[in-house]
């Protein structure tokens, strides 16, 4: 039995402690916005925040997270899709198939929380998620837009 | 019908449980029971539903997998409907409904960049017919001639009397009218909705976690399955020791799936997957276990000179011209197997009973999924249904062959009445793709004393997708699709050069690895072979690569126009600005495929340590009519990511009959830090409809390879680039 604080709510989950956080979020807690892409920390589709840090939840056993740690998923990033990153994503029509985009948005939000005015180089090295549809240029532009650094290029 | 599909958009879970509820009460899905439902829902025709509150629902038969087809097709219908775009939403009819209504929605296949270009005519007519019926309904109500009424922004007005009525208020009356028989479509130059860079209709739910993909599906009482198919293609499942895992938490059943796979069904997928990992399995790998990439390559190499080959394009006598030429050039190229690697692994949820079978799955071809379901279920198609779920990428993997659907149904048959969701692990997805075909190509050419190309022979050796997937389309040993981009004149994929003596032929060699239509299909390697060799010829002739090409393209004005546009926009002929102190070099490529003309100019630098950086690609596309320019830009950018990933890294190698790459750590892909700037030039010359999802992929690699030659003097003739040492001596 583990206790997890996800999007401000405490959940009791009965799972094998080795179960990756991703699968607890998706299957026990029932939040499916966080995606499975590779399971080996390569693609970032499973990115969530643990105490504000971007974490690839497919490779983190649920036993490594305590109740005191705050887990945020895409569903909890903002109550209404109003996070600046989400707004920038909509404004620039970033997603294609969209499957990687929860992870992209969570990675971008964590990057901006740590570095509110990232340079282009910071964005390009800081977002390491895979998008097979190839939305990278719009991802980069949307992070700049969310940071208010678009003009500076 | 509309009711259920409406629910699909509100949230799939509601629909799924509603459908399931009805299903378990004697297997009547609501939409099947309600169709054609014209009385209950204001359906003007198969394409257009208008609600009393003015909401317009456009039905979309093709699948949305990220390429923007959903929005583009809706724009075309809304354009002819003279709709208020802000009121438009979309829904998918199901393949079962299409079957029951005599294919009212036509072909549901979504591949070959055909979504818009093959259906624009009848979907626009659907929109126009609905508009004419709405106008007629208003004219009838007011007792005036229809010709005196006008429709705009979802309103019909009669100027003379100042009367107006909204589409919502007219829909019920309009739906009772006979559809018009004579329909005139608008001239595209008068478009106000189509042709505009409108935002996609499906963006918001992809930014907040609400978009439901197949992998996210949840039905009441559903169990989860993980599967392992024999890693050697063509091998069989010999035995497994179910007793070793049945006591593990959550495990419900261990199932033999057809003759080559085993699945574990459990409460959660993670339980199923970990139990499967622990399951002792014995395979009967069969003779294919001897095959390796090396043995395949040796076989293909033999085909480069084999006497027997199917001809794709012949002009004059290439062999004689080359033999007589004072200067000759020969080069051998190769292109490897690759996996589609859709971000969402293959999955399907199936619910089977002896009377009926339903499947929920992301598919590029609902009708083919329905056929696969019926066959696997052992039931007639009329007793089956497929619910198309949003795709987390398709790229051709989720089209013609529904291997995962057959598996899901086979598993569900072992648990009658219980829905089972089968989700492949990434490892399963990597091992059991439908791989980009492997080919080699030998190009031989003759130049005269002035450096003019007098003859060329292009011998392709290797795999045929069509022979594997649609063998009935092979005629006299000839696969027509192998020659994409190399065909004589035609609207689909014609070569852009006039070469006085030309022979392009194919020696088919089909290894045991199952091939598939991989975004860009055969255009990918054909454009590399031809465009890199053109560069080699230009160099041999001592001519500028652009000038050399132009001299052969005078009778191919559309090919030439995009090449010129890419070259000019990139600044061909003027030096590129250095980046980080490194000189930047350019390379060109052009081709035609999927009905569109495309060209690219890539700018590349290579460090002394041999590291390649692609800085910028200028891409020009002539797709005839451009339905949504900002989505075309997105497709061009995205296709370059696919094409550059292939060029730099993409390779699946065979060892002991199976693929060696099992996850993204050994199958790397382009990431943001390597993404070049992309400038898209759209040159819609009108008069035809070309696809945009695929063609530009094919010019990414050759443009980059030609730029690498300009930078290093080294010719890369086999991909991926990661195997080549570009260090300066
Ligand atoms: S699923 Fe976690 S990084 Fe890919
Ligand atoms: S939008 Fe499809 S994988 Fe990124």
Q: What is the pLDDT of residues B456-494, one digit of tens each?
A: 999 999 999 999 999 999 998 999 999 999 999 888 899
Residues of chain A positioned with their CB less than 8 A from the CB of B274: 16
Q: Is B591 helix (H, G, I), strand (E, B) or coil?
A: strand
For residue A53, the distance in angstroms to the closest alpha carbon of chain B comes to 19
Helices B523-541 and B545-552, axial angle in degrees (round to 10)? 110
User: What is the rounded distance in angstroms from the CA atom of residue B696 to the CA atom of residue B601?
Assistant: 11
Place of tokens 């340079």: A119
Task: Identify the H or E element spanning A146.
Answer: helix A136-147
Counting one residue from chain A and one from chain B, the pairs whose CB atoms sit within 8 A come to: 173
CATH 3.10.20.30 residue spans of chain A? 2-76
**Residue in chain A lying closest to B644 (CA):** A134
Which of B359, B420, B413 shows the shortest CA–CA distance to B386?
B359
Of A45, A89, A137, the CB nearest to B207: A89
Residues of chain A positioned with their CB less than 8 A from the CB of B677: 137
Query: pLDDT tens across B330-378, in order?
Result: 999 999 999 999 999 999 999 999 999 999 999 999 999 999 999 999 9
Length of chain B: 729
C-beta of A46 in contact with ligand 1 (< 6 A): yes
Q: For residue B477, count other CB atoms closer than 10 A to its CB.
A: 13
Give me the residues paired with residue B506 across strands: B310, B460
pLDDT exceeds 50 at position B39: no
The separation between the first and the last C-alpha atoms of chain A, rounded to the nearest angstrom, is: 49
Domains and CATH numbers, chain B: 34-198 (3.30.365.10), 214-286+346-423 (3.30.365.10), 293-338+435-723 (3.30.365.10)
Across B509-514, average pLDDT: 97
- Position A1 scores a pLDDT of 75
Distance B13 CA to ligand 1 centre (A): 25
Which of B71, B198, B202, B207 to mutate: most A Cβ within 10 Å? B207
CATH 1.10.150.120 residue spans of chain A? 84-152
What CATH number was assigned to the domain covering residues A2-76? 3.10.20.30
- Position B27 scores a pLDDT of 27
Task: Identify the H or E element spanning B412.
Answer: helix B403-413
Asked if B393 and A20 come within 8 Å (Cβ–Cβ), the reply is no
Ligand 1 pocket test, pick from A41, A61, A100 with the greatest ligand atom count within 8 Å of Cβ, gives A41
Per-residue DSSP letters for B456-514? Answer: EEEEEEE--HHHHH-GGG-BTTB-GGGGTTTBSS-SSSB-----SSEEEEEEE---SSP
Query: pLDDT tens across B423-460, in order?
Result: 999 999 999 999 999 999 999 999 999 999 999 999 99
pLDDT exceeds 50 at position B649: yes
**Residue in chain A lying closest to B665 (CA):** A42
- Position A82 scores a pLDDT of 95
C-beta of A43 in contact with ligand 2 (< 6 A): no
What CATH number was assigned to the domain covering residues A84-152? 1.10.150.120
pLDDT exceeds 50 at position B285: yes
User: What is the rounded distance in angstroms from the CA atom of residue B54 to the CA atom of residue B134?
Assistant: 12
Which of B505, B450, B446, B452 shows the shortest CA–CA distance to B479?
B505
Across B245-272, average pLDDT: 98
Mean per-residue pLDDT over chain B, rounded = 92
Pairing between β-strand B357-361 and β-strand B347-352 as defined by DSSP bridges: antiparallel
Range of weakest confidence among B36-40, B109-113, B314-318, B437-441: B36-40
Of A45, A73, A135, the CB nearest to B638: A135
Which of B384, B392, B371, B381 shows the shortest CA–CA distance to B412?
B384
Residue ID of nearest Cα to ligand 1 atom 3: A41
Distance B639 CA to ligand 2 centre (A): 12
For residue B390, the distance in angstroms to the closest alpha carbon of chain A comes to 8
Residues 6 or more apart whose Cβ sits within 8 Å of residue B234: B286, B288, B512, B657
Across A97-119, average pLDDT: 98
Ligand nearest to the CA of A41: 1
Instruction: Check the CA dihedral B145-B150-B154-B157 and report its sign.
Output: negative
pLDDT exceeds 70 at position B676: yes
- Position A151 scores a pLDDT of 59
Query: pLDDT tens across B146-177, in order?
Result: 999 999 999 999 999 999 999 999 999 999 99
Q: Which residue has the higher pLDDT, B262 or B35?
A: B262
C-beta of A101 in contact with ligand 2 (< 6 A): yes
Query: pLDDT tens across B89-130, in order?
Result: 998 889 888 898 888 888 888 777 677 777 888 889 999 999
pLDDT exceeds 50 at position B582: yes
Q: Which atom of ligand 2 is nearest to the CA of B392?
A: 2
Distance B146 CA to ligand 1 centre (A): 59
- Position A98 scores a pLDDT of 97
Asked if B343 and A27 come within 8 Å (Cβ–Cβ), the reply is no
């Amino acid at each position: 039995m583990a206790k997890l604080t996800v999007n401000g709510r405490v959940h009791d989950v009965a799972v094998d402690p080795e179960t990756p956080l991703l699968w607890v979020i998706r299957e026990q807690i029932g939040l499916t916005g966080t995606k499975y892409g590779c399971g080996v920390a390569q693609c970032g589709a499973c990115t969530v925040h643990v105490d504000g840090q971007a974490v690839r939840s497919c490779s983190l056993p649920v036993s490594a997270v305590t109740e005191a740690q705050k887990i945020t998923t895409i569903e909890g990033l903002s109550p209404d899709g109003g996070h600046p990153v989400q707004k920038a994503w909509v404004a620039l029509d970033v997603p294609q198939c969209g499957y990687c985009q929860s992870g992209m948005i969570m990675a971008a939000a964590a990057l901006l929380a740590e570095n509110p005015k990232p340079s282009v180089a910071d964005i390009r090295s800081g977002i390491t998620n895979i998008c097979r549809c190839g939305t990278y240029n719009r991802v980069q532009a949307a992070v700049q837009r969310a940071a208010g650094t678009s003009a500076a290029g | 019908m509309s009711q259920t599909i409406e629910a699909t958009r509100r949230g799939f879970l509601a629909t799924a449980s509603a459908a399931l509820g009805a299903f378990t009460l004697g297997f009547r899905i609501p939409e099947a029971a309600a169709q054609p439902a014209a009385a209950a829902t204001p359906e003007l025709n198969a394409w257009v539903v208008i609600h009393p509150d003015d909401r317009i629902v456009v039905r979309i038969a093709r699948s949305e997998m990220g390429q923007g087809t959903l929005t583009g097709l809706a724009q075309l219908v809304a354009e002819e409907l003279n709709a208020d775009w802000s009121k438009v939403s979309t829904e998918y009819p199901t393949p079962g409904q299409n079957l029951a209504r005599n294919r009212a929605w036509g072909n549901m296949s979504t591949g070959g960049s055909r979504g818009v270009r093959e259906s624009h005519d009848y979907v626009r007519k659907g929109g126009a017919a609905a508009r004419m019926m709405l106008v007629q309904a208003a004219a009838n109500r007011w007792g005036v001639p229809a010709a005196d009424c006008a429709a705009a922004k979802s309103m019909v007005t009669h100027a003379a009397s100042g009367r107006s009525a909204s589409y919502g208020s007219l829909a019920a009356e309009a739906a009772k009218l006979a559809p018009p028989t004579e329909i005139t479509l608008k001239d595209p130059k008068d478009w106000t909705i189509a042709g505009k860079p409108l935002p996609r209709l499906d963006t918001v739910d992809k930014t907040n976690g609400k978009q439901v993909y197949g992998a996210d599906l949840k039905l009441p009482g559903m169990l989860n399955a993980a599967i392992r198919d024999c890693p050697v293609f063509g091998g069989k499942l010999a035995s497994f020791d179910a007793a070793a895992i049945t006591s593990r938490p959550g495990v419900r059943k261990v199932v033999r799936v057809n003759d080559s796979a085993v699945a574990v069904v459990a409460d959660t997928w993670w339980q199923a997957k970990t139990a499967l990992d622990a399951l002792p399995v014995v395979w009967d790998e069969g003779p294919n276990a001897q095959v390796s990439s090396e043995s395949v390559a040796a076989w293909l190499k033999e085909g480069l000179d084999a006497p027997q080959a199917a001809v794709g394009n012949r002009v004059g006598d290439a062999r004689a011209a080359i033999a007589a030429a004072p200067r000759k050039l020969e080069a051998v190229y190769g292109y490897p197997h690759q996996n589609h690697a859709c971000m969402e692994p293959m999955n399907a949820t199936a619910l089977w009973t002896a009377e009926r079978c339903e499947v929920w799955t992301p598919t590029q071809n609902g009708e083919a999924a329905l056929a696969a379901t019926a066959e696997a279920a052992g039931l007639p198609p009329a007793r089956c249904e497929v619910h198309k779920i949003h795709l987390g990428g398709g790229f051709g993997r989720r089209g013609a062959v529904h291997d995962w659907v057959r598996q899901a149904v086979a598993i569900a048959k072992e648990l009658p009445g219980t829905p089972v969701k089968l989700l492949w692990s990434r490892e399963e997805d990597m091992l059991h793709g439908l791989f980009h075909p492997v080919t080699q190509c030998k190009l031989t050419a003759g130049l005269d004393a002035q450096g003019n190309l007098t003859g060329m022979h292009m011998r392709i050796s290797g795999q045929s997708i069509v022979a594997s997937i649609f063998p009935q389309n092979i005629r006299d040993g000839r696969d027509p699709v192998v020659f994409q981009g190399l065909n004589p004149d035609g609207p689909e994929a014609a070569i852009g050069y006039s070469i006085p003596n030309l022979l392009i032929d194919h020696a088919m060699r089909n290894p045991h690895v199952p091939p598939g239509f991989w975004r860009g299909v055969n255009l990918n390697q054909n454009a590399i072979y031809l465009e890199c060799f053109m560069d080699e010829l230009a160099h041999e002739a001592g001519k500028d690569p652009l000038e050399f090409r132009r001299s052969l393209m005078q009778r191919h004005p559309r090919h030439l126009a995009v090449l010129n546009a890419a070259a000019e926009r990139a600044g061909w002929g003027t030096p590129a600005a250095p980046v980080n102190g490194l000189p930047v070099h350019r390379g060109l490529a052009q081709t035609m495929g999927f009905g569109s003309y495309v060209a690219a100019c890539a700018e590349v630098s290579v460090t002394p340590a041999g590291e390649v950086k692609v800085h910028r690609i200028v891409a020009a596309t002539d797709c005839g009519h451009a339905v949504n320019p900002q989505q075309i830009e997105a497709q061009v950018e995205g296709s370059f990511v696919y094409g550059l990933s292939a060029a730099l890294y993409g390779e699946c190698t065979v060892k002991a009959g199976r693929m060696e790459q099992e996850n993204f750590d050994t199958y790397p892909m382009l990431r943001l830090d390597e993404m070049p700037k992309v400038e898209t030039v759209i040159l819609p010359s009108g008069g035809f409809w070309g696809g945009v999802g695929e063609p530009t992929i094919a010019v990414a690699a050759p443009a980059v390879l030609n730029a690498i030659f300009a930078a290093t003097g080294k010719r890369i003739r086999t991909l991926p680039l990661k195997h080549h040492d570009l260090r300066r001596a």
